[in-house]
Copies of this chain bind each other. A is one copy, B any other.
Amino acid sequence: MHTLTHSTHGKSRVRVSKILRPREKPAVEETHRFLEAAVEVLLEGGTDAAYTDGDNANVVATDTVKNTVFALARDTDYDDLPTFGRVLANHFLSRYEHVTKVTVAMEGHTWHRLLDCPHAFTGSDAEARRVTVVAERGQPLRLADGFGGLMLAKTTATSFENFHRDAYRTLPDAADRVLATVLTASWAVNGSADRDDFDAVFATVRGALLTAFVDHHSVSVQATLYRMASAALDATDAIDAVTMSMPNKHHLPVDLSKLDRENDNVVFQVTDEPAGAIQATVTRGR
């Protein structure tokens, strides 16, 4: 007889969209908002007998989890994803006594207003809001906000020099190079059980990260990441730490010497693999 030391179940990729309609005017005259997310809800607790004895009594079917996501999307008055995620996490924990922990992970799909039309939108698959809410019995609710997939590049004012030199190094120092990355960032939001300004905090943090990406000469991805994270921490006291991933998506200068041409930092080969991985967490000074 072996021991179930951890287990979880739920539903992934419940893709739900919602039209926020004021309902004060005919549909074509009113201004809509259009929110979309892929939601995952994972439950822990109370289901060991399902694994070991085939007893399904405490198993909230993953289909039931899906139903609940749609029902609460209908019931709840939310206009940001973190608020909806918080409602979901609290619901599952309060409704099912045997559940000890609920994790809600949401990936937003961004719809921007199109040509000032009150009901037309254009979308994007690249940058996506990512929200994770954890509700655990007897503990304060935790919520991490953030985003992934934000492509950034600088075509000058970036260098990488004087790094470790040994027999395995062949890369020369570069005083001027392209820096391109896909930024992922996440941050726990203080007091997330109660606050209602998630979108404002998000905009502040994202804005600070971008401004700091642009405002200096980068001597390494590492130094730029730290500067960006620090700027975010300086911009709002709603967060106390930022975790970031900034892989180096290489634009490599093409060696044209065999083709009798110079390439003075003009033409680059773009590759996704291999990619330099650079990740860090920066926490408010202490």
- Bound state CA distance, A13 and B249, in angstroms? 12
Which positions 251-286 of chain A face chain B at CB distance < 8 Å? 251, 254, 256, 258-261, 263, 265-286
Among A139-147, A152-160, A192-200, the one that faces the other chain is A152-160
**Across the two chains, which residue of chain B brings its CB closest to A18?**
B267
Give the residues in chain B near A152, CB-CB below 8 Å.
Answer: 114, 120-123
Contact B223 A50 (CB under 8 A): yes
- Bound state CA distance, A61 and B160, in angstroms? 9
Contact A18 B268 (CB under 8 A): yes
Given A7-B280, A220-B56, A283-B3, also A270-B15 (CB < 8 A): yes
How many copies of this chain sit in the oligomeric assembly? 4
Range for the number of chain A residues in contact with chain B? 35 or more
- Bound state CA distance, A229 and B3, in angstroms? 10
Contact B125 A125 (CB under 8 A): yes
CB distance from A264 to the nearest CB of B (A): 9
Give the residues in chain B near A277, CB-CB below 8 Å.
Answer: 8-12, 40, 42, 62
Contact A163 B57 (CB under 8 A): yes
Give the residues in chain B near A34, CB-CB below 8 Å.
Answer: 153, 155
Q: Which of B64, B223, B229, B273 contacts A12 (CB 8 A)?
A: B273
A36 at the interface (CB under 8 A from B): yes
Contact B51 A225 (CB under 8 A): yes
